[in-house]
Amino acid sequence: MPPILFLADARHHNVARRLLAICALLAAGAAQAASPPATACALAAAPPSDTALVDVPFDIVDGRIYVAARVDDAGPFRFAVDTGASGIARADTRLVRALDLPRNGVAANSDGVHVAQADTTRLRTLALGELRHDDVDVLARDYNAQQSSDAAFDGILARGFFADGLLEIDYPKQRLRFRRDAGLSASQPDTLGYTRAFRIPVHIGTVETQAQLDTGANVAFVLPAALYAQVSDAPVADAPLTLTQGKVDGGRARVDVPFRIGGLTLPSLEVRVSSRYPEAVVGAHALRDAVVLIDQRSRRVAICPAQRGEEVIRPPCWAETPTILEDAQQGGRADPNAQSSPLRCLTKASAKCIRQVGTQSDQPR
């Protein structure tokens, strides 16, 4: 009898050692994965995180992006995501009518050229995925008067909606994500710092300037006339610039020098030119092949060229896992329900591995 017990214990300890070794490998892999990437674009290329508060698809109409949000526990409603808009949100009059929202007051707002007064209302809740804001005072006006029916929306998610985390807008995959457990830092060489949201450095040929990153602008670039004269001497065709509160004199031209915005380089672009608009703007059409990362906590932005045709990156799943798991179960000595059990560790790790593979291979491309 004693020799039999000894052999059983030896087998159990051998299996336990093998399980603990694999658990250590899994833990090391997890720790490596948890360490922040050296570059922002490596973070953008990483597999989607299961800790994201928001991971939703979006539609694109004329460059602008639209997501489905919920207001006062109703909806979904169509909201544009506009990094050029201040505050948390805006409400179109059709949302006000649909929810019978009360008039809350009056506030001034600007489209960069004109300043006007608009009504305000209060949203009891505004949610996208698991990201939610309560008791939000918003401007309420007719934003759709100059929109096509395809581009009409119920409201706008402005930059303040995403102020306390990392916003990722993946244009090629048409996916928007938001998380708080990752971010951008000055130590990442491919990030751009800003002082005033979101004015970032851009290069147009040999000229370096500041431009506002505006996902709500359905253009590639807007250049003030004085800046345009520095980068091109090509004639400008007359084309008024349409703003939120009206039109201003403007034109259209093609600039055949490279535009560099963070990690994205565009060989030439059609731009809008105006002597009335006060600053350069990077609009949505310039970003259609990019992944945009914005972290308002660190005041940093990254513009990453999309990775096309890449292989799906899968987590480290060990081929011997099923065999060792089966051996341990047959040994009858490991308790799969014990929190400290090597068998439980391996079972949980294997299940997580399978979930990660499924999540990654299901991502739209």
Structure-token pair, residue 303 = 């513009």
Show contacts of 33-37: CB within 8 Å, 24+ apart: 33/315, 36/182, 36/185, 37/188
CA distances from 313 to 39, 87, 199 (A): 17, 37, 34
Residue type, 186: A
Sign for the CA dihedral angle at 154, 157, 161, 166 comes to positive
- With cut-offs at 50, 70 and 90, classify the pLDDT of residue 166: very high
Residue type, 191: T
Per-residue pLDDT, 276: 87
In CATH terms, the superfamily for domain 54-179 is Acid Proteases (2.40.70.10)
The CATH number assigned to the domain with range 192-305 reads 2.40.70.10
Cα–chain center distance at 64: 14
Structure-token pair, residue 301 = 């932005």
Report the alpha-carbon angle 255-261-264, nearest 5. 95
Sign for the CA dihedral angle at 268, 270, 273, 279 comes to negative
pLDDT digits 0-9 by tens, 240-260: 766 655 566 789 999 999 999
pLDDT digits 0-9 by tens, 74-132: 999 999 999 999 999 999 999 999 999 999 888 777 656 656 678 999 999 999 999 99
Closest Cα partner for 145 from 75, 71, 70, 243?
Answer: 243
Q: Where are the domains of the chain?
A: 2-37+313-361, 54-179, 192-305
pLDDT digits 0-9 by tens, 286-307: 999 999 999 999 999 999 998 7
Q: What is the mean pLDDT of residues 262-283?
A: 93
Report the alpha-carbon angle 290-61-261, nearest 5. 25
Question: Using the 8-state DSSP alphabet, how is residue 47 labeled?
Answer: P
Contact at 8 Å (CB) between 273 and 236? Answer: yes
Per-residue pLDDT, 359: 36
Closest Cα partner for 176 from 161, 190, 192, 154?
Answer: 161
- Angle formed by the axes of helices 2-34 and 321-331, nearest 10°: 150
Structure-token pair, residue 29 = 């892999």
Per-residue pLDDT, 307: 73
The reply to whether domains 54-179 and 192-305 share a CATH topology is: yes
User: 10 φ, ψ to 5°?
Assistant: -60, -45
- With cut-offs at 50, 70 and 90, classify the pLDDT of residue 14: low
Cα–chain center distance at 28: 28
Contact at 8 Å (CB) between 301 and 279? Answer: no
Give percent of the chain above pLDDT 70.
70
Contact at 8 Å (CB) between 271 and 221? Answer: yes
How crowded is the C-beta side of 187, counted as CA atoms within 13 Å? 4
Partnered with residue 280 across adjacent β-strands are 211
